[in-house]
């Protein structure tokens, strides 16, 4: 899903350049590297926990 539509998720509150995609009950935090044609997944977080970038 992220490889075909990396802009699907919205920006995380902090830091800049990190995006979050909600896939209930999980939040997937990731960064897009367009120059490398790559998506880096940073965290997969359960929705009941406070997020790493909250």
Q: Is residue 5 part of a domain?
A: no
Per-residue pLDDT at 52: 67
Is there a domain that residue 30 lies in? yes
Q: How many domains does one find in the chain?
A: 1
pLDDT by 10-residue block (mean), the chain, 54 residues: 78 82 90 91 86 62
31 lies in which domain range? 10-46
| Within a domain: 54 | no
Which residues have CB under 8 Å from 31's CB, separation 6+? 17, 18, 19, 39, 40, 42
Structural domain contains residue 28: yes
Q: Is residue 36 part of a domain?
A: yes
Q: For residue 41, is it within any domain?
A: yes
Structure tokens at 25: 């009950």
pTM for the full predicted model? 0.76
14 domain residue, yes or no:
yes
pLDDT at 25: 92
Contact 25, 49 (CB under 8 A): no
Q: Does residue 15 lie within any of the structural domains?
A: yes
């Amino acid at each position: 899903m992220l490889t075909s539509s990396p802009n699907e998720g919205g920006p995380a509150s902090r830091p800049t350049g990190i995006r979050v995609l909600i896939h209930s009950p999980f939040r997937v935090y990731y960064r897009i590297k367009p120059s490398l044609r790559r998506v880096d997944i940073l965290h997969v977080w359960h929705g009941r926990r406070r997020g790493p970038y909250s």
